[in-house]
Amino acid sequence: MSILSPMGWLYGRVADLRNTLYDKGVLESFDLGARTISIGNVTTGGTGKTPLVAYVAEILAARGEKVCILTRGYGRENAGQRVLVSDGKEILADPSQAGDEPFELAQKLFGRALVIADADRVAAAEWAKRKFGVTAFVLDDGFQYRKAKRDVDIVCIDATNPFGGREMLPAGRLREPKFNLSRAGIVVITRTNVAEDIANIRFEISRLAPDSLVFAAENRIARIVALEEFHAKTQRPQSEEISQPALAFCGLGNPENFFAQLRQDGIEVVSTETFRDHHRYFQQNIAGIEAKARQTGCEVLLTTAKDAVKLEGLAFTLPCYVVEIELVLDNPDGFAALI
């Protein structure tokens, strides 16, 4: 318990009331008119959701679906406007217009999925179906977005911090009481490779959501590329080898998971620098990062793809590399069949 716990209790009651109104049909949910997969979480902060969104979109695209990712686009300019981030053939917005995660998804899924940022995802879906003939939607951060009906509801649980301090916002990181996990058809325990043991997490999920199918996923470094090559979208057959001492920096909901991943893969991370989630970088940030790197004996900089999309046009005097992460599921065939 903390001084904020009463506010968390109130937040939880409001969330419960809202869910009850949807369950009873007082608040209406709308069919998007195409197969709809929702991917979300029950906590704030990074849970490894974005790699899973890309993973699901690639499964659908590989089976011939016309895929559209619907996202709110947190942190973007003009949040009330609809932004077509990518029409599947061309990226039509920059990170400030799209939001960093939608822009990252548009780059990663270039040629395989449309990406639309719009707070009203039901209206965006209707527009996308009419204009582009979309046959499958992926709702990014959709677990609490109950205005849209879904065929499959997937929830990510971070193995390193599964239930966000077990208290509701603002006392903890829970967005709704954890018993609501029972709405999920699929639960994916993410980042299992940087957690000590997930047996207790599996047990708690089985108690909260006995009918949900549970998968375990780990993150793996897919490749490490120079920042300038990342922006040029150069395709390299293999990853760079980083043998020099490095400073790793990022603006993520859970930055320690990124640093742990690097160290687990044998990279010598001597120093780190963190920024708030969705941080927008300026030249003075780069100057500060490089000064810290030199003070701590670091010869290279490492960052994430989510951060890298916001670094274009900024000048570096130290080599900067982008670490691209991919998701590896314990039962990929079984998961794909459900999608």
Average pLDDT over residues 248-277: 94
- CATH 3.40.50.300 domain range(s) in the chain: 5-218+328-338
DSSP calls for 281-300:
P-HHHHHHHHHHHHHTT--E
Q: C-alpha distances in angstroms, 254 versus 140, 154, 229, 275?
A: 18, 20, 26, 10
**Is residue 47 predicted with pLDDT exceeding 90?**
no
Average pLDDT over residues 78-104: 94
5-218+328-338: CATH, from 3.20.20.70, 3.90.1150.10, 3.40.50.300, 3.65.10.10: 3.40.50.300
pLDDT (0 to 100) of residue 235 = 59
pLDDT band at 237 (very low <50, low <70, confident <90, very high): very low
**Is residue 246 predicted with pLDDT exceeding 50?**
yes
**Predicted structure pTM score:** 0.93
Angle between the N-to-C axes of helices 100-108 and 49-62, in degrees from 0 to 180, rounded to the nearest 10? 30
Q: Tell me the pLDDT tens digit for each residue of 208-220.
A: 999 999 999 999 9
Q: C-alpha distances in angstroms, 122 versus 60, 188, 273, 307, 339?
A: 20, 25, 38, 29, 20
Give the CATH number of domain 221-325: 3.40.50
pLDDT (0 to 100) of residue 253 = 86
